Amino acid sequence: MSSEGEISSFFESSPPLKNMEEIVEKLNQFINWNFSWQGGRRIVCVTSGGTTVPLEQRCVRYIDNFSSGNRGAASTENFIKAGYAVIFLYRRGTCQPYCRYLPDDPFLECFEFPDKTNNIQVRASHLEAVKMAVMDQQRVAVSERRLLKLPFSTIYEYLQMLRLVATALKDIGPYSMFYLAAAVSDFYVPWESMTEHKIESGSGPLEIRLAQVPKMISILRSNWAPKAFCISFKLETDSKILIEKATKALRKYKVHAVVANELSTRKEEVVVVSSSGNVVVRRDCDKPESIVEDNLIRIIVARHSTYIIESQLLIPST
């Protein structure tokens, strides 16, 4: 478990966020709007995509963590469908909610000129994907101000932003949730020991010493947002150790559930590991459009509802 000293020295040595005041203002407006709406909406912070670890202060090279952002984007869509407001803390350039079916390369292949006028139309082959991106739930999410997107790239940005979100959500306690699907770096180069300029390539093999990133889940649970419902993820490539590792993480970080997934099957199946037992969640194979997040979010939302009821029972009556 990371000590408070390690965690505070990580933040003290991090380069400060460039737009911190703007982020805090956006967060406060979003939370006030949604929590004062007709008795209060539940708010979930979905983290998505991988964090980078810069090797130079004026960064040219970096180490990356694998994550396409698909899990976070698909989960966000399902949370919105379930009535939640979502703070989508995502890695710049990764998959976005409602855009999962759009071709990313090249995006312009979605469009065509049907005749000699200047009109542009969507190609029939991409119609469904474009409709999904601009209509229905996406429109609802935007018009009801239920989706706040906050981008990050580096581990420094991600952890500082996660702390801001947690602090801003603290007052709504059990109505808030953290759904930590981002792939977060475990090792990094401390800012003060990082070279300022591009590392020169002429001086032979490169040796870099990486320090361990403190595990932030522990302080999120104990300090930043102790009453929030908290779901973390466990990714492994060896299925034999997956459940054991997820079970250990559940106990160690005292989260409400750990979603365990194996890299190659993560789109087909996940296991929700919690103190009430393990539940295997699969996509519905008989429905081609079904995704594992449809069933996963249904389970998570039901558990969050139980958690809110239980938390209310714990409040002493006056």
Give residues in contact with ligand PMT (CB under 6 A): 67-71, 180-184, 186, 213, 215-217, 232-235, 261, 266
70-81 and 136-143 are packed helices; what angle lies between their axes, rounded to 10 degrees? Answer: 70
Task: Report the residue number, 34 or 76, with the smaller CB distance to ligand PMT.
Answer: 76
Q: How far is the CB of 316 from ligand PMT (least distance, A)?
A: 32
| Distance of alpha carbon 88 from alpha carbon 66, whole angstroms | 18
Identify which of residues 144 and 186 has a Cβ nearer to ligand PMT in the complex. Answer: 186
CA distance 186 to 180: 15
Half-sphere exposure for 43 (CA within 13 Å, toward CB): 33
Q: Which residue has the tokens 């694998």?
A: 66
What is the Cα–Cα distance from 255 to 245, expressed in whole angstroms? 14
- Could you tell me where the beta strands, DSSP code E, fall in the chain? 43-48, 52-54, 62-64, 85-91, 111-112, 121-122, 147-152, 176-180, 187-188, 211-212, 229-236, 257-262, 269-274, 277-282
CB-nearer residue toward ligand PMT: 120 or 241: 241
**Residue 266 C-beta: closest distance to ligand PMT, Å:** 5
Which is nearer to ligand PMT, 36 or 222 (by Cβ)?
222
Q: Smallest distance from the beta carbon of 6 to ligand PMT, in angstroms?
A: 11
Minimum gap (Å) between residue 206 Cβ and ligand PMT:
23
CB nearer to ligand PMT: pick between 45 and 182: 182
Cβ atoms 138, 130 nearer than 8 A: no
Give least dist CB 214 to ligand PMT, A: 6
Closer Cβ to ligand PMT, 161 or 182, answer by number: 182
What is the closest distance, in whole angstroms, from the C-beta atom of residue 88 to ligand PMT in the complex? 13
Residues 6+ apart with CB under 8 A from 185: 50, 51, 52, 53, 63, 65, 155, 213
